[in-house]
Amino acid sequence: MGYPAGMVRQPLTAEQIAAGQRLGAALRAARAGRSLVEVALAAGISPETLRKIEAGRLPAPAFGTVVCLSQAFDVPLSELADVWLADMPVRQAS
């Protein structure tokens, strides 16, 4: 399918990559003693996807994936958003 003509996905910024690494670390900590496979199945994602997110190799997971992980970990989505936004530059409203 791809993007419509003229639309190109922009590469992630260093800040976004760092945010993904923070998110991955927070999810890894939230998993605590639970197995990666158990949590991935509870979230409806593959264990490999969760592994990549936790390792920071998938720094910008889909919103639905984050929502499902939030539910699987019983961590409010707002807490995961706070982790993502920590140290991000403040944007001015347009």
Q: What are phi and psi of 77, to 5 degrees?
A: -55, -35
What distance in Å separates the CA atoms of residue 33 and residue 25, rounded to the nearest whole number? 14
Cα–Cα distance, 5 to 77 (Å, whole number): 34
Q: Which of 18-22, 30-34, 90-94 has the lowest mean pLDDT?
A: 90-94
Mean pLDDT of 19-41: 94
Helices (DSSP H) in the chain: which residue ranges? 14-31, 36-43, 47-55, 63-73, 77-85
Dihedral, CA atoms, 51, 65, 31, 86, nearest 10 degrees?
A: 100
Q: Looking at domain 14-86, which CATH architecture does it have?
A: Orthogonal Bundle (1.10)
pLDDT tens profile 33-64 = 899 999 999 999 999 999 999 999 998 999 99
Q: Tell me if the pTM is above 0.85.
A: no
